[in-house]
Structure 1
Amino acid sequence: MRHEDLPAAEQDALDAATFRRLLAHLDANRDVQNIDLMILAGFCRNCLGKWYAAAAEEHGIELAPEAGRERVYGMPYADWKRDFQAPATPEQLTAMGARANR
């Protein structure tokens, strides 16, 4: 069976379960820095938080952008940044610059 052959409710359930698994994976791998995600994939935890808030808005739900970030980080962003974000290395900054110039 293909994804598009499933009823919409089942597609939504699988999509939601996958998103929850992604968040759990990111939470279990806090050593992976946002800049590393941006370099490799072009998105990071902050992007996911923005997308979450945008999806809420698309569904007519008022959700502060910070609430979207908290959903992704599992805590206030300031706490995550203080406890888990390392300063970017020169190599990371170079790689990020190269990605931006593609």
Structure 2
Amino acid sequence: MDEQTRLELEAAAFRQLVQHLRERTDVQNIDLMNLAGFCRNCLSKWYKAAAEEKGMSMDYEEAREIVYGMPYEEWKKCYQTEATAEQKAKYDAVQAQSAH
């Protein structure tokens, strides 16, 4: 596979992942962190870092809006729920394990 095709396929897969996460507003970031070790905010940080590697200026909120499909504060108001005690405990346990 040539480099351009690889880049195009990776970009298409990323776009599909972002679209899927935009549609699955029922899946909270804490759930993603607990199961996969990353969340929408992580994707936003990676996007911002990639832009900066290319010499582009992008702030975190701009990157979040690209990933969330709307300003983050709006997404929180519409879709974010309070994490349960169980979610928080699992998050703490996962974070403690990954620190080792």
TM-score normalised to structure 2 length = 0.95
Distance in 2 between the 1:72 and 1:20 partners?
Answer: 9
Q: 1:99 aligns with which of 75, 79, 94?
A: 94
- 1:40 CA displacement: 0.4
Q: Say whether residues 1:47 and 2:47 are aligned partners.
A: no
Q: Say whether residues 1:56 and 2:51 are aligned partners.
A: yes
Q: How does 1:1-102 map to 2 (within 5 A)?
A: 6-102=1-97
Q: SS of 2:26's equivalent? A: coil
What is the Cα-based RMSD across aligned positions, in Å?
Answer: 0.6
Write the letter of the residue equivalent to 2:61.
E
Distance in 2 between the 1:80 and 1:62 partners?
Answer: 23
Write the letter of the residue equivalent to 2:17.
L
- Which fold has the larger relative contact order, with Cα–Cα distance below 8 Å and residues 6 or more apart in sequence? 2
Write the letter of the residue equivalent to 1:17.
A
- 1:15 CA displacement: 0.4
Q: SS of 2:91's equivalent? A: helix
Q: SS of 1:30's equivalent? A: coil
Q: SS of 2:64's equivalent? A: helix
Identity %: 53
Distance in 2 between the 1:19 and 1:45 partners?
Answer: 12
- 1:54 CA displacement: 0.3
5+ long unaligned stretches in structure 2:
none
CA deviations 1:25-84 (Å, max 9, x no partner) are 111111000000000011000000010000000011111111110000000000001110
